[in-house]
Amino acid sequence: MKTVLAIRHVHFEDLGVFARAFRDAGFAIEYRDSGVDDLSAIDPLAADILAVLGAPISAYEEDKYPVVLDELRLLERRLATKRPTLGICLGAQLMARALGASVYPGKAKEIGWSRLMLTPEGRKGPLKYFDDVPVLHWHGDTFDLPRGAVRLASTPITANQAFSFGASALAIQFHPEIEAANFERWLIGHAVEIASVPNLSVTDLRHDANEWAPQTASRGRLLLADWLAALPGQN
pLDDT (tens digit per residue) in 36-63: 999 999 999 999 999 999 999 999 999 9
- Are 165 and 95 in contact by the 8 Å Cβ rule? The answer is yes
- Cite the DSSP H helix spans in 66-137: 67-80, 90-98, 120-124
For residues 106-118, one letter each, b for 16 or more C-beta atoms within 10 angstroms of the residue's C-beta and e for the rest, the string is beebbbbbbebeb
Q: What integer pLDDT is reported at residue 234 of this predicted model?
A: 65
pLDDT surpasses 70 at 206: yes
Q: Which domains does the chain have, with CATH numbers?
A: 2-230 (3.40.50.880)
pLDDT surpasses 90 at 235: no
- In degrees, rounded to 5, the angle at the alpha carbon of residue 230 between the alpha carbons of residues 228 and 233 is 90
- pLDDT by residue (tens digit) across 122-156? 999 999 999 999 999 999 999 999 999 999 999 99
CA nearest to 208, candidates 156, 136, 157: 136
Average pLDDT of the chain to the nearest whole number: 95
The structure's pTM equals 0.96
